[in-house]
Amino acid sequence: MDYPILRLHKEHWPQVKEIYEMGIETEIATFETEAPSWEIWSATHDLICRLVVMDQEGEEVLGFAALSPFSNREVYAGVGVTSIYIRGDVRGKGVGTALLKQLIRVSEEEGYWMLQAGIFPENRTSIKIHEAAGFRKVGTRERIGKLNGVWRDVELYERRSDIVG
């Protein structure tokens, strides 16, 4: 099924924030414990590489993906960190796969030569989607941070572009 994928704008934020909060509740999507404001979120994500996938009517956000620059140091220009979140009731229907593929296309158009993803080992769905999109596991960052007082590992995945870099 084809899903309309659009650039994420401020008017999408209320639904995007809801989806992000659903991810927070799972405790396998992020170390964050509450969603930031639009201003903070927008300031920390690439202005072009931020997408929403919509329902067929174009009214409801089903998921979103965005890139954050890996670093503001010039040496790391072109390296981005992926975020992808899908609404709970549409997971497993190809939404995440379509969204990540489009994010990769847009990122390459914007000059990103490498994408990274830090994924909790328990988030098998995210790992599967990233691997299917050409990401490979490069290691495990053991006990990298605490979530609700519990040390957690993060598996580091990367994808290097065949057309940029």
* 62-114 pLDDT tens trace: 999 999 999 999 999 999 999 999 998 888 889 999 999 999 999 999 999 99
Could you tell me which residues come within 8 angstroms of residue 39 by beta carbon, excluding any fewer than 6 positions away? none
Q: Nearest 10 degrees: CA dihedral of 110, 70, 10, 14? A: 130
Domains and CATH numbers, the chain: 5-160 (3.40.630.30)
* 53-68 pLDDT tens trace: 999 888 899 999 999 9
Strands 61-69 and 79-86 turn out to be antiparallel
pLDDT at residue number 165: 81
